[in-house]
Amino acid sequence: MANVVVVGSQWGDEGKGKIVDWLSSRADVVVRFQGGHNAGHTLVVGGEVYKLSLLPSGVVRPGKLSVIGNGVVVDPWALLAEIERIGQQGVKITPETLLIAENAALILPVHPAVDKAREALKGKAKIGTTGRGIGPAYEDKVARRAVRMCDLADAEVLKAKVEALLEYHNAQLTGLGAETLDPAEVLAQLQEVAPKVLPFMGVVWQKLDEMRRAGKRILFEGAQGAMLDVDQGTYPYVTSSNTIAAQAATGSGMGPGALGQILGITKAYTTRVGSGPFPTELTDEIGELLGARGKEFGVVTGRKRRCGWFDAVLVRQSVKVNGITAIALTKLDVLDELDELRICVGYKYKGEVIQHLPALARAQEEVEPVYEVHEGWKSSTYGARSWADLPAQAIKYVKRIEELIEAPVGLLSTSPERDDTILVRDPFED
Ligand code: IMP
């Protein structure tokens, strides 16, 4: 029996929420392994809409264990607010249903302060971050000065760490012309929050090992997408974590052999939120139409997403760097009204056609997409539940995508509703 890793294969917002929810109904454990509350997953279960940022999607399903792994950066206040918010929707979260790694690094109030102050100074060159302090928190982790979950349990260590951390960041905030933070105040805030989050803390690697040995099904829930990966993405316009599948091992404390199938969630066109290169971006009325039909607004920040044609070069790159074994293709119905569609099959760069997105930022801005044109199907695919429900041109489009990206479609999602899915291969059974 396989475990399953779900990752985004583009720039995030591929519609992971619905697929993860469907898979989590069949899993025993759902694990977040990177990112923080910059992620936004929308789940529609029984007509009720849940918007999650930090909590694994399994929390809305009774009887599942949800795990926040060591690779996640945890804002304890955002965590409690989310627990409270979904508690009001009738979902009760207890230490029996949520486990947070003792070695996860924390996001403290100083991190969003630094994040926002830096972005404000960058002007046009800004990354367009979510302002949640994700980048600065990961920097502290790698610089070996982060406050971690386990530090909340030791008053003496916590005090020393907070003082050292703020000494470092206050110098930076002063340089950025922003307000500094008072270490005593931050410490008091942490002391207040500690008893509320510590009951969720535990030894994640050990628990996961136990569950694996007991034959439980583990679902690893990625956030963002491969092109936002700090190594493989459109650097520096990326998030500060590894978003690709291999991180599921590093960010949870399981060996890579435990990962199983790797499902890449892939939108039938492309979107991106925030700044950075986007070769197939459409700034015309077709881009507007995709945004409107696809309701392309960020879950976390409410920002309008940039929209463009499907980029097979970029998704194939993503298939390779993730080791994607199948994709789940989402939002095909958004394309229903188009007369014709385009798929990017190469990039023109310095007079040649290339088959990868180069690492050089300037090259990423300069590449020109080479398109293949497809006839539109001009009929509804919304809610289709079998291949037979799809128009021939739509099937042709999907088959061409499979061929170009060198990965099969394992699932096709045709509306936000859970049952509107065409299942080709069950990743848990593969
Ligand atoms: P950060 O993760 O807040 O540092 O933002 C860095 C970049 O990642 C920005 O372009 C954000 O818009 C993007 N980003 C972060 N989280 C998400 C997400 O969940 N979906 C899509 N883009 C995201």
Task: Identify whether the C-beta of residue 267 lies closer than 8 Å to the C-beta of residue 15.
Answer: yes
Task: Identify whether the C-beta of residue 268 lies closer than 8 Å to the C-beta of residue 332.
Answer: yes
**Active-site hit among 37, 41, 111, 169:** 41
pLDDT at residue 392 greater than cutoff 70: yes
pLDDT at residue 124 greater than cutoff 90: no
pLDDT-derived band at 418 (thresholds 50, 70, 90) equals: confident
- What pLDDT is stored for residue 337 in this prediction? 95
**What is the β-pairing status of strands 352-354 and 340-349?**
antiparallel
Task: Identify whether the C-beta of residue 310 lies closer than 8 Å to the C-beta of residue 268.
Answer: yes
* List of domains in the chain: 1-23+206-430 (3.90.170.10), 106-197 (1.10.300.10)
Q: Which atom of ligand 1 is nearest to the CA of 35?
A: 2
Token pair recorded at residue 53? 């940022």
Instruction: State pLDDT tens for residues 49-100.
Output: 899 999 999 999 989 999 999 999 999 999 999 999 999 999 999 999 999 9
Token pair recorded at residue 216? 């439980």
CA atoms within 13 A on the CB side of 262: 25
- What pLDDT is stored for residue 227 in this prediction? 98
Mean pLDDT for 379-407 is 96
Instruction: State pLDDT tens for residues 304-343.
Output: 999 999 999 999 999 999 999 999 999 999 999 999 999 9
Any atom of ligand 1 within 6 Å of the Cβ of 12: yes
Any atom of ligand 1 within 6 Å of the Cβ of 223: yes
376-393 residues labelled b (16+ CB within 10 A) or e (exposed): bbeeebeebeeeeebbee
Any atom of ligand 1 within 6 Å of the Cβ of 330: no
Roughly how many angstroms between the first and final C-alpha of the chain, as a whole number?
Answer: 8
CA separation, residue 215 to residues 4, 59, 60, 234 (Å)? 13, 21, 22, 38
CA 232 to chain CA mean position, Å = 14
User: Does the active-site annotation cover 336?
Assistant: no
- How far does residue 393's CA lie from ligand 1's centre (Å)? 34
Task: Identify whether the C-beta of residue 276 lies closer than 8 Å to the C-beta of residue 237.
Answer: yes
- How far does residue 220's CA lie from ligand 1's centre (Å)? 19
Closest C-alpha among 198, 241, 250, 199 to residue 220: 250
pLDDT-derived band at 428 (thresholds 50, 70, 90) equals: confident
pLDDT at residue 427 greater than cutoff 90: no
Mean pLDDT for 377-389 is 94
- What pLDDT is stored for residue 41 in this prediction? 84
- What pLDDT is stored for residue 1 in this prediction? 59
Q: What is the rounded CA–CA span in Å between residue 272 and residue 224?
A: 10
Residue to probe by mutation, ligand 1, list 11, 41, 228, most atoms within 8 Å of CB: 228
Q: Which amino acid residue places its CA nearest to atom 12 of ligand 1?
A: 274
User: Does the active-site annotation cover 374?
Assistant: no
Q: What percent of the chain has pLDDT over 70?
A: 100
pLDDT at residue 300 greater than cutoff 80: no
Average pLDDT, the chain: 95
Q: What percent of the chain has pLDDT over 90?
A: 87
Token pair recorded at residue 72? 């996640």
Residue to probe by mutation, ligand 1, list 52, 239, 265, 330, most atoms within 8 Å of CB: 239
- What pLDDT is stored for residue 11 in this prediction? 97
State which of 1-5, 37-41, 145-149 shows the largest mean pLDDT.
145-149
Mean pLDDT for 255-284 is 96
CA separation, residue 130 to residues 57, 126, 134, 207 (Å)? 20, 11, 8, 32
Indicate the range of 184-193, 300-309, 327-336, 404-413 predicted with least confidence. 300-309
Query: ∠ at Cα 264 (278, 298), nearest 5°?
Result: 50
Q: What is the rounded CA–CA span in Å between residue 87 and residue 68?
A: 18
CA separation, residue 321 to residues 196, 243, 258 (Å)? 39, 11, 18
Length of the chain: 430
Cβ-based neighbour number of residue 114 at 10 Å: 21
pLDDT at residue 251 greater than cutoff 90: yes
pLDDT at residue 35 greater than cutoff 80: yes
